[in-house]
Structure 1
Amino acid sequence: MKKLLQLLVIMTPLAVFCQPDTEVFLFDLSTENNKLTITNGKNISNNEGYDNQPSFQNEHTILFASTRNKQTDILQYNSITGVKKWLNDTKQGSEYSPTQVPKSKYISAIRLDTTGLQYLYYYRKGKSKALLKDLKIGYHVWNSRNVLVSFVLGEPHRLVVSNLKKNTHYTADTNIGRSLHNIPNSNLVSYISKKNDVWEIRSLNVKTYETKKIANTVPNVEDMCWLADGSMLMGKGKVLYRLDPKKDTEWKIVKLFDKENFDNITRITTNASNTKLVIAAEAETALKPTLENIRWIAGNWKGEAFGGITEENWSEPSGGSMMATFKLIVNGKVNFYEIETISEVNNSLLLRLKHFTSELKGWETKDETVDFPLIKVTKNKAIFEGMTFESIDENNMVVYVAIGQKDGSTAIVPFHYKKTTN
């Protein structure tokens, strides 16, 4: 057992250097008339290595952990001037989850030393001070100047409420996720419970320690943030979801980041006025736009959408194209058909389709097709203007389709498919 613990101490610092290549992206955000508009995205880290765990220090200042000299330190970014500033220079240690301490001039962060020690620290003007040395904290949120809610590492991980003034620590729940947030217009904190197969977003009363279910998460997603109106955002892959627990029963897609060069969204956060959105995600590598690189689309796929059963049959690449038939069955009857092709055209790919009624009468005119030019191909996605194919694994695929609405807006509709052997 002693040798195992020694091995873990040695391996823990090495894990710092095996972090994914993530970047931090800043967007303008509008929530006018309950509609989210996300524009003007830019990479504000633009740095090789691990850049992640962003939080807003104030309306225009963002903190995040950023890689330099084979470790992560606290980087401050001003969204008005674009100026970056390092706030610490820890020797033989890395900082994570930098957070402004309420009503103070301190910043708190998790420090992982190369010796394996991991503590929560205060930082100010380049100086630091360790806190709560009896707790190995992985993630944290300040509910007030003296009340800290933290994810404490262990078997299982614990949700702990600490009162620094009274020096008390109470375990409110176990088997939790890393996402901890103050709930707007309340003294409650939200956290992710992983006790069940379906993860839950729950609230915690820091005074009574009572917890209540708010909603289920997007499947297998544990990072989220709150908007001022009481709705929540979660990201998965290149998709941003929103749910208002007061009136929604299901998560709704509000943005597909099809043109942005990132994937696998993790952390998301907004400033208090909801005018800025920050996302941490993995840097994305584009592949050559060839049919061979999207061969995984081939097969017979069945799923559900539009209140019915959907089926797509895609051929293997041949003759410079792939071909598919699609049909939607509602209440036991065919609603409509489609014929689709993806062709290699001008060193790129072009998706074309035509719609037909159940009697095979064309929706479009004789020579008309609905065309979707290619944006890019990645390891598990074929992204066209208005339609994105995503491979989840060899037997599961999601197709995101942008569909115009009567009010002039566009809704992103996901088609969840399973590959069949029939």
Structure 2
Amino acid sequence: MKPVLSLCIYFFTLISFCQSNTDIFLFDLVSINNSIKVTNGTNISNNEGYDNQPSFLNEDRILYSSTRNGQTDIAQYFSNYKSKVWINFTEGSEYSPLKIPNRNEVSAVRLDKDGKQRLYRYNLSNGESSELIQDLVVAYYTWLNEETIVSAVIEDQQLNLFVTNISAGTSRKYATKVGRSFHKIPNSNLVSFISKENENQWQIKSINPDTGVTKLIANTLEGVEDICWLNNKTILSGKGTKLYKLTLNKDNNWVEISDFSSLGITSITRMTVNPSIDKLAIAADFKTANDNTEATNQDEEQDHTGTTSTESNKEVTEIETIVQRNLDAYNARDIDSFMKDYADDIKLYAYPNTLQTEGKEAMRKGYKDWFDRVPDLRAFIKKRIVIGNKVIDEEQVTANGQIFNAVAIYEIENGKIFKVTFIQN
């Protein structure tokens, strides 16, 4: 029975997360001396279902796991453009996306449809993936550097801490009964983790991955295992609607710094800060406007178009959904699904205004031939901008063993794409 029990446990580890309706919120963060202010909270995911595990790719881009077409994939949010793209197209579900240090790649825990759960890397240039650690069922993790991973591995019906050297292909266990929060401690060669060996009081500990030496840092908030480091002295954590901080050697206990209940947030979980420490992203359970319209409306701020940020995000999501669905059909070479998103009088242009194809029938004929002749066809979105009714995609396309770059400008009306302009190098 043991293999069956283990299988059930690691299914539960990831799939159970999908039962909650979590969202990603982005805040401005100001930290001066021992004072921290968190303002201007915005729901950047605004998606029905599971949105969780945020991490910063760089100053302005946030990675997170998000529900799409019944599975969980890696989303990338551009805070400067207020737009989202998907960076992977596997049949499995991805969780805990992180930037791999010094590489143009991200990593994520993947749960495939056959039940296999492993840690993968994903190339940001073409979306291709490969397995990172073959023999361990990784549930949570972080990177010390581009060669060293500290992770929680499902083993003996619990989570145990392993340190893996990717180049050497070696893994070693250093601790048992750990939690899900792993973070490189800023300006150090240490990683923090949550120890659950004392069931009555969870603890934040550090580990030196080179030596395996562990040290106690502090106690967690009661029953809370999610933290992040603001710097090498200050830790953030959340419980319920409130955000707390603990500055080592200054604060005797956790200090409340903000209450997000007015935003509709009901329970804070994951959190992360950008490299400049002026942005905070959190994952949280969210009470919708239907649950508490008055409270939510009080916190909506107008953007430059005069609409609320919630309304603006909804419009972007609907337009982008059409284009993303169309791209998925393109990559699947499914001509029927692909053509459903186009208006009957669709016009295709070469930039700036050279008409190439007019009408749905002519377009279908051309693309049907293209799909039939190119078995390795794949378009990968490098960057996406949404402006009004236009979606502008910078694409990298693979066809017949060759790779080329292009820009596609989609224009949408009444739920259909009526014009596409291509710019190709």
**What TM-score results when the alignment is normalised by the length of structure 2?**
0.65
* Counterpart for residue 107 of structure 1: 106
* Counterpart for residue 184 of structure 2: 182
* Cα distance change, pair 287–230 in 1 and its aligned pair in 2 (3 A): same
* Counterpart for residue 259 of structure 1: 262
Q: Deviations over 1:364-400 (max 9, x none)?
A: xxxxxxxxxx958xxxxxxxxxxxxxxxxxxxxxxxx
Amino acid at match of 1:71: Q
CA distance in 2, matches of 1:229, 1:254: 18
Amino acid at match of 2:111: L
Q: Deviations over 1:34-87 (max 9, x none)?
A: 311111111110000000000001111100000010101100011111121100
* Counterpart for residue 271 of structure 2: 268
CA distance in 1, matches of 2:33, 2:250: 16
1:229 CA drift (Å): 5.1
CA distance in 2, matches of 1:136, 1:282: 27
Determine which structure has more spread, i.e. the larger CA radius of gyration: 1
Alignment: residue pair count: 292
Q: Deviations over 1:316-344 (max 9, x none)?
A: xxxxxxxxxxxxxxxxxxxxxxxxxxxxx
* Counterpart for residue 69 of structure 1: 69
* Cα distance change, pair 212–64 in 1 and its aligned pair in 2 (3 A): same
Instruction: Give the secondary-structure state (helix, strand or coil) at the position aligned to 1:45.
Output: coil
CA distance in 1, matches of 2:107, 2:41: 28
Query: In the alignment, is residue 119 of structure 1 matched against residue 114 of structure 2?
Result: no
* Counterpart for residue 8 of structure 1: 8
Structure 2 spans left out of the alignment, 5+ residues: 297-425
Instruction: Give the secondary-structure state (helix, strand or coil) at the position aligned to 2:33.
Output: helix
* Counterpart for residue 172 of structure 1: 174
Amino acid at match of 2:165: N
CA distance in 1, matches of 2:217, 2:73: 34
Higher relative CO (Cα under 8 Å, sequence separation at least 6) belongs to 2
**What TM-score results when the alignment is normalised by the length of structure 1?**
0.65
- Residue 182 of structure 2 contacts residue 191 of structure 2 at CA under 8 Å; is this kept in 1? yes
1:19 CA drift (Å): 2.2
> More strand by proportion, 1 or 2?
1
Q: Deviations over 1:101-129 (max 9, x none)?
A: 00001110000012110010010122110
- Residue 18 of structure 2 contacts residue 49 of structure 2 at CA under 8 Å; is this kept in 1? no
CA distance in 1, matches of 2:14, 2:216: 37
Q: Deviations over 1:304-361 (max 9, x none)?
A: xxxxxxxxxxxxxxxxxxxxxxxxxxxxxxxxxxxxxxxxxxxx9xxxxxxxxxxxxx
- Residue 263 of structure 2 contacts residue 295 of structure 2 at CA under 8 Å; is this kept in 1? no
CA distance in 2, matches of 1:207, 1:277: 30
1:246 CA drift (Å): 2.2
Amino acid at match of 1:168: T
1:13 CA drift (Å): 10
* Counterpart for residue 163 of structure 2: 161
1:168 CA drift (Å): 1.8
Q: Deviations over 1:224-274 (max 9, x none)?
A: 000125200000110001001222220000101131111111001101111
CA distance in 2, matches of 1:24, 1:33: 27
Note the aligned Cα RMSD (angstroms).
2.4
Query: In the alignment, is residue 240 of structure 1 matched against residue 243 of structure 2?
Result: yes
* Counterpart for residue 323 of structure 2: none
1:88 CA drift (Å): 0.7
Matches within 5 A, 1:239-388: 239-285=242-288
CA distance in 1, matches of 2:224, 2:167: 34
Instruction: Give the secondary-structure state (helix, strand or coil) at the position aligned to 1:259.
Output: helix
CA distance in 2, matches of 1:286, 1:22: 14
- Residue 264 of structure 2 contacts residue 295 of structure 2 at CA under 8 Å; is this kept in 1? no
* Counterpart for residue 397 of structure 1: none
* Cα distance change, pair 251–169 in 1 and its aligned pair in 2 (3 A): same
Amino acid at match of 1:114: K
CA distance in 1, matches of 2:3, 2:181: 32
Structure 1 spans left out of the alignment, 5+ residues: 290-347, 349-373, 377-422
- Residue 77 of structure 1 contacts residue 83 of structure 1 at CA under 8 Å; is this kept in 2? yes
CA distance in 2, matches of 1:3, 1:170: 22
* Counterpart for residue 209 of structure 2: 206
- Residue 57 of structure 1 contacts residue 100 of structure 1 at CA under 8 Å; is this kept in 2? yes
- Residue 94 of structure 1 contacts residue 113 of structure 1 at CA under 8 Å; is this kept in 2? yes
> More helix by proportion, 1 or 2?
2
Amino acid at match of 2:105: Y
- Residue 228 of structure 1 contacts residue 273 of structure 1 at CA under 8 Å; is this kept in 2? no
Instruction: Give the secondary-structure state (helix, strand or coil) at the position aligned to 1:153.
Output: strand
User: What fraction of aligned residue pairs are identical, expressed as a percent?
Assistant: 48
